[in-house]
Amino acid sequence: MTPRMLPKLVTMTALFSNLAAAADEAEDPFLWLESIDGTRAMEWVEAHNQATIRELALHPDFEAIRARCLEILDSEERIAYPSIRGTMIYNFWQGAGAERGVWRRSRQAAYLSGEPRWETVLDIDALARAEQEQWVFKGAQMLDPEYELCLVQLSRGGSDAVEVREFDLVGKSFSTNGFFLPESKTRVAWLDRDTLLVGTDFGADSMTDSGYPRIVKRWRRGTPIEEAETLFEGRKTDVGAGATVYRNPERTYVMLDRSITFYQSEYFAYESGRLVRLDLPADAAVAGIFKGQVLVELKSDWAVDGRTLPSGALVAAGYAPLMEGRHDLCVLHAPERRSSLAGIATTLNQVLATVYVNGQYDRLQRFLFDGQEWRVEPVSLPGTGTVSIVATDDYSDRYFFAYESPLTPRSLYHVADDGGRSLVKSLPAYFDAAGFAVEFHEATSKDGVRIPYSVVIARDAKRDGSNPTLLYGYGGFEVSLRPHYSPTMGSAWLERGGVYAMAHIRGGGEFGPAWHQAAKKENRQRAFDDFIAVSEDLVARGICSRRTLGIMGGSNGGLLVGVAATQRPDLYGAVVCAVPLLDMKRFNKLLAGASWMGEYGNPDLPEEWAYLSKYSPYHQVAGERSYPRIFFTTTTRDDRVHPGHARKMAARMESMGHPVFYYENTEGGHGSGVTNGQRAYVQGLTYAYLLTTLRQDVPRPETQDADAPLVHPGDSNPME
């Protein structure tokens, strides 16, 4: 190619690019709403925010709900959840006077006494004011066991991308000339005091199509990151790659992982300057390393050395034999019918595992290893409910766990080295639960499978279909929904006559990997059928009617309720669709969407678009049908699920004559806000919407004068 040919080539490339863009616009007239900060798009967002506020913020209960939610979120009676770091307890706290939060610490003895003496380590509000930036604290990785240095992760507006800065925990200040990584979806780990293992945006195609690092480097203190040594490179089509350092008392283990898809990975041990791939199933997940044993969760049956280990099992695999290509395996937990592993953690001498049983409650057990044999022991609990392991310590057998049920406020317990248990703190009763009961039912899905769900309902509630009922669901990525105590839902919804239901549909992980895999890719419709079946069962039992039934879901759950609303609009009176995934034709081209093709499929393949197109809400909404007035919420700074999904769906529905409510917080990441004030405001709007649409005894408010000035949390300037 000669130099004089280049201008013509550039012109032709631009022409084809413009033609392609025009074709995209013709196929999708709302493509312009994918411009996250575009002037036209943001004008659309603000106009819709104002319209929603003018109507929902005038509901007679809105201000009371918003104020009560903020009171709960700011309450000093909340539990300060601990992280164990040597003799100190660390905690991140948001509340009155700490809108963006304060990272603080207390001596463990004082914390356990119930009177912690908190010492501020890093004030995020002060940092935001000083640097004129909307910083959000995203955690810190400490260098153990000394705990003198850490890597603080800061996000602008709550996005997943973070800036990483080295922080001196002794001097409580950012280290002069310390490690620093600019904003990116970074994975980083301490190898030692002067060395990091880093996956970040190194430039030159160093990120995957999903927006995560594909290269892992070893970076030594005092050297330019451009000179960091490359340890591993994945492919651009992978989800991502990263390194994990397990620093145990007996030794340090370094593991690199390559996520090929969301559910398939390769694991490499890094020993003496070389990488050794571990012979594990591609869909298995490494949950930790304990006393020379690699803890592995199986997602499918594993045929190995003449036997088959079952899907859903927790397996201990000897590290040394794996390094030699051999298998020394022990099944610690085998799956039971209608149960699944809910959580795994380690201390110095025990592996802790919670087991979720029958969609109703948890068991907690511990596994002990003497170097030759394993034994399992049950851990006694305060009652029958949900248990979560909150914090553990690799250098002792101390740990904290939380216990709760839908009508029992959460309590935090401490377990000492000798196994003794003590209550640290309990939440107060934020709503009066005395008149309510929890019921467990099952619905029959379209293919005959029994789908469990729970209901929190007043004991004296009539079964005549009159109860305003909110059904929540998720059904994806092997995420288990577990019964829990929700102070804001209880005070905003239950105390106002509402019923709350939770569906344990396929696609989730409530009953192990098979429950999830039953609704992946071409079988996704099963999750939607399950949710619709639970909806119909609630109506059939007289708990609610179609007019008084509302549904709610966020993220993948936003897709769930979006599909339910477009497939069965006759079944619902209200739909809350939060930070949703809705355009299944373009989801893999937006932000982290490419990483989810292992869950949903690839819309660029005709055979997979064939089934995706059948339920994609953005493509299934029709002008001739009647829909409930859906409430869409999202955030501008969500860099996981693109806000364009909610924007475009709302715009398309309006263009067809279907009114909607829409609210977009201008910061907040993949959630409802970064401050308690923002979260309370969104909850106020949400429950005002549900009361407006589902409760018949509250008059619908008049719309406020369109010229009246309005202020909402998205307008606030945290620097002032």
Taking only the tens place, the pLDDT of each residue in 158-198 is: 999 999 999 999 999 999 999 999 999 999 999 999 999 99
Residue 7: pLDDT over 70 = no
From residue 662, alpha-carbon distances to 287, 546, 563, 651, 685 in Å are 40, 23, 18, 10, 10
Indicate the SS3 state at residue 107: strand
For residue 79, tell me if it sits in a domain: no
The mean pLDDT value of the chain amounts to 93
Looking at the fold, whether 128 and 195 belong to one and the same domain comes out as: no
Per-residue pLDDT at 24: 59
Residue 669 banded pLDDT, cuts 50, 70, 90: confident
- Whether residues 313 and 191 share a domain: the answer is no
- Which helix H or strand E contains 505, and what residues bound it? none
Residue 435 lies in a domain: no
Q: For position 668, what pLDDT does the model report?
A: 81
Q: Which tokens go with 108?
A: 């463990």
Between residues 5 and 633, which one has the greater pLDDT?
A: 633
pLDDT for residue 715 is more than 60: no
Residue 439 lies in a domain: no
Same domain? For 548 and 497 the reply is yes
* CA proximity to 694, closest of 469, 457, 534: 469
Whether the per-residue pLDDT at 299 is higher than 50: the answer is yes
Q: Please identify, among 277, 292, 324, the residue that sits at the C-terminal boundary of a domain.
A: 277
> What pLDDT, on a 0 to 100 scale, did the predictor assign at position 708?
34
The number of domains in the chain is 5
Separation CA 713–CA 156 (nearest Å): 16
Close Cβ partners of 378 (under 8 Å, ≥ 6 residues apart):
363, 364, 365
The domain containing residue 307 runs over which residues? 284-335
At residue 697, the pLDDT reads 56
171 and 195, same domain (yes or no): no
pLDDT value of position 97: 92
List own/partner pairs for 14-18 with CB under 8 A and 24 or more apart. Answer: none
Exposure pattern of 169-179 as b/e (b: 16+ CB <10 Å)? beeeeebeeeb
- Over pLDDT 70: what percentage of the chain? 93
Taking only the tens place, the pLDDT of each residue in 108-163 is: 999 999 999 999 999 999 999 999 999 999 999 999 999 999 999 999 999 999 99
**509-519 confidence digits (pLDDT tens):** 999 999 999 99
What distances in angstroms separate CA 174 from CA 72, 137, 266, 482, one per listed residue?
A: 33, 14, 35, 39
Check whether the bond before 145 is cis (ω within 30° of 0). yes
Task: Note whether 613 and 676 are same-domain residues.
Answer: yes
How do residues 347-396 score in pLDDT, each as one tens digit?
Answer: 999 999 999 999 899 999 999 999 999 999 999 999 999 999 999 999 99
How much is the average pLDDT of 469-473? 98
Domain assignment of residue 270, yes or no = yes
Amino acid at 568: R
Q: Are residues 291 and 269 in the same domain?
A: no
Catalytic residue among 339, 555, 595, 616: 555
The predicted structure's pLDDT at residue 673: 86
555 is catalytic: yes
| 211, 247: one domain | yes
Domain boundary among 297, 316, 335: 335
pLDDT digits (tens, 9 = 90+) for 540-576: 999 999 999 999 999 999 999 999 999 999 999 999 9
Tell if the pTM clears 0.85, that is, is over it.
yes
The model's confidence at residue 26, banded by pLDDT at 50, 70 and 90, is low
Token pair listed for 18: 């413009």
pLDDT bracket for residue 61 (50, 70, 90): very high
Last residue of a domain, one of 428, 447, 482: 428
CA nearest neighbour of 198 among 174, 166, 159? 166
Q: Are 585 and 613 spatial neighbours (Cβ–Cβ below 8 Å)?
A: yes
Active-site residue (options: 445, 670, 672, 712): 670
* Tally of CB atoms within 10 A around 592: 23
Q: Is 259 a catalytic residue?
A: no
Same domain, yes or no: 331 and 344: no
Helix, strand or coil for residue 243?
Answer: strand
Q: Flag whether 142 is in a domain.
A: yes
Token digits of residue 246: 């397990």
**Over the stretch 11-24, which tens digit does the pLDDT of each residue have?**
433 443 444 444 55
User: For residue 619, which of 629, 633, 627, 609 has the smallest C-alpha distance?
Assistant: 609
Q: What is the per-residue pLDDT across 627-656, written as a single tens digit (0 to 9) for each?
A: 999 999 999 999 999 999 999 999 999 999
Q: What is the pLDDT of residues 572-628, one digit of tens each?
A: 999 999 999 999 999 999 999 999 999 999 999 999 999 999 999 999 999 999 999
Q: What three-state secondary structure class fits 651?
A: helix
Domain assignment present for 82: no
**Whether residue 718 has pLDDT greater than 70:** no
Closest CA to 509 of 480, 482, 530, 484: 480
Specify whether 261 is located in the same domain as 288: no
pLDDT, position 666: 87
Specify the pLDDT at position 86: 95
Percent of the chain with pLDDT over 90: 90
Can you tell me which residue has the tokens 């002794």?
170
Q: Is residue 640 part of a domain?
A: yes
Asked if residue 617 and residue 656 are part of one domain, the reply reads yes
For residue 494, give the 3-state DSSP assignment.
helix
Domain presence at residue 156: yes
Q: Please say whether the beta carbons of 684 and 491 come within 8 A.
A: no
Q: Is the pLDDT of residue 712 over 50?
A: no
Q: Are residues 400 and 315 in the same domain?
A: no
Domain check: are 300 and 271 in the same one?
no
